[in-house]
Chain A
């Protein structure tokens, strides 16, 4: 049991997580920003929930990727994967999404430093990079459609559009969350303990990025 000096801005933890905050004077501690919460585990329930959600999302995307792998050779009519993919274009899109992970982590680092201006800046840049990626995906889908690859053209096209479309929806939801976050920060509605929300949105965004890392390799780079 430890009493912290008022205003000391300290957080009690084990090696990155507390099992027992005991009688610590928690009122003086910025718990959530420092990875410590007033819960039985000492961990943020919101963060636990987010990681659990991301773990379950692995199952969702695992199913979609497996279905694509099974059906990518099933081309009864219309173009096949080898004929339609534009690797240089998709590589640039992948690079853009990868860099958005960098700007997102810089936003989280700025939020941890209570640097509101840079937090908003990096969140906005992340949203713009995400929008660029989604714009690229819309362009790609439009091009494929014009080349004769509709949603129901073949099992390959159905599984391809479903997989990449689901990912695109996730990126779009992420962009909405990022812009909403910028608005909330501007109105001083994300302060103190609630700053953890920047980290949570960041976790979601990085997850979207790692899913694309897998899709880029398995779908685009490895031939059918």
Chain B
């Protein structure tokens, strides 16, 4: 590696750095296996009676899968924060607007 520091924030990255940046192929496969296991757990949950924690558990597992794909497969965890702001701003806006709309229609009553 031939990193060359410009100042505290500015770094010269070589192509080698970039290739080392983010997960390796093997790590991607492990992440995919984790996602598959979570999906399997979701399906199993629908066939067993876990009582009132059923829906919250499914929502948590869904959120975990969502964040894993966005962070690792879409590289948001390793990319510039501006990309995260653009995406999560849209997502947050959508959640706010539609949860409000669902409240308006008394969906949660």
Q: Which of A173-181, A186-194, A202-210 contacts B (4 or more CB under 8 A)?
A: A202-210
Cβ contacts under 8 Å, B107 to chain A: 69-70
Establish whether residues B94 and A59, one from each chain, have CB atoms under 8 Å apart when the complex forms: yes
A to B CB contacts below 8 Å, 25 in the list = A9-B15, A11-B14, A12-B10, A12-B13, A16-B78, A20-B10, A34-B15, A35-B18, A43-B82, A47-B83, A51-B86, A55-B86, A55-B90, A58-B90, A59-B93, A63-B98, A69-B102, A88-B43, A94-B39, A99-B32, A99-B36, A102-B32, A105-B28, A112-B19, A221-B46
Establish whether residues B43 and A221, one from each chain, have CB atoms under 8 Å apart when the complex forms: yes
- Bound complex: CA A167 to CA B43 (Å): 21
Instruction: Determine whether A104 belongs to the interface, using a CB cutoff of 8 Å to chain B.
Output: yes
Cβ contacts under 8 Å, A222 to chain B: 55, 58
Establish whether residues B70 and A210, one from each chain, have CB atoms under 8 Å apart when the complex forms: yes
When C-beta atoms are compared, the residue in chain B nearest to A15 turns out to be B9
Instruction: Determine whether A41 belongs to the interface, using a CB cutoff of 8 Å to chain B.
Output: yes
- Bound complex: CA A87 to CA B97 (Å): 30
By a beta-carbon cutoff of 8 Å, the part of chain B in contact with chain A is: 2, 4, 6, 9-15, 18-19, 21, 25, 28-29, 31-32, 35-36, 39, 42-43, 45-46, 55, 58-59, 61-62, 65-66, 69-70, 72-74, 78-83, 86-91, 93-95, 97-98, 101-102, 105, 107
Cβ contacts under 8 Å, A152 to chain B: none
B-contacting residues, A55-75, CB 8 Å: 55-59, 61-63, 65-66, 69-70
Count contacts on A: residues with CB < 8 A to the other chain. 66
Cβ contacts under 8 Å, A202 to chain B: 74
Establish whether residues A102 and B10, one from each chain, have CB atoms under 8 Å apart when the complex forms: no
Cβ contacts under 8 Å, B6 to chain A: 2, 12
Establish whether residues B39 and A91, one from each chain, have CB atoms under 8 Å apart when the complex forms: yes
Cβ contacts under 8 Å, A16 to chain B: 21, 78-80
Instruction: Determine whether A30 belongs to the interface, using a CB cutoff of 8 Å to chain B.
Output: yes
- Bound complex: CA A102 to CA B69 (Å): 9
Q: Count chain A CB atoms within 10 A of each CB in B25, B31, B74 and give the residue with the most.
A: B74
When C-beta atoms are compared, the residue in chain B nearest to A41 turns out to be B82
Instruction: Determine whether A162 belongs to the interface, using a CB cutoff of 8 Å to chain B.
Output: no
Establish whether residues A98 and B11, one from each chain, have CB atoms under 8 Å apart when the complex forms: no
Q: Count chain A CB atoms within 10 A of each CB in B14, B55, B80 and give the residue with the most.
A: B80
Establish whether residues B101 and A66, one from each chain, have CB atoms under 8 Å apart when the complex forms: yes
Establish whether residues B102 and A70, one from each chain, have CB atoms under 8 Å apart when the complex forms: yes
When C-beta atoms are compared, the residue in chain A nearest to B106 turns out to be A70
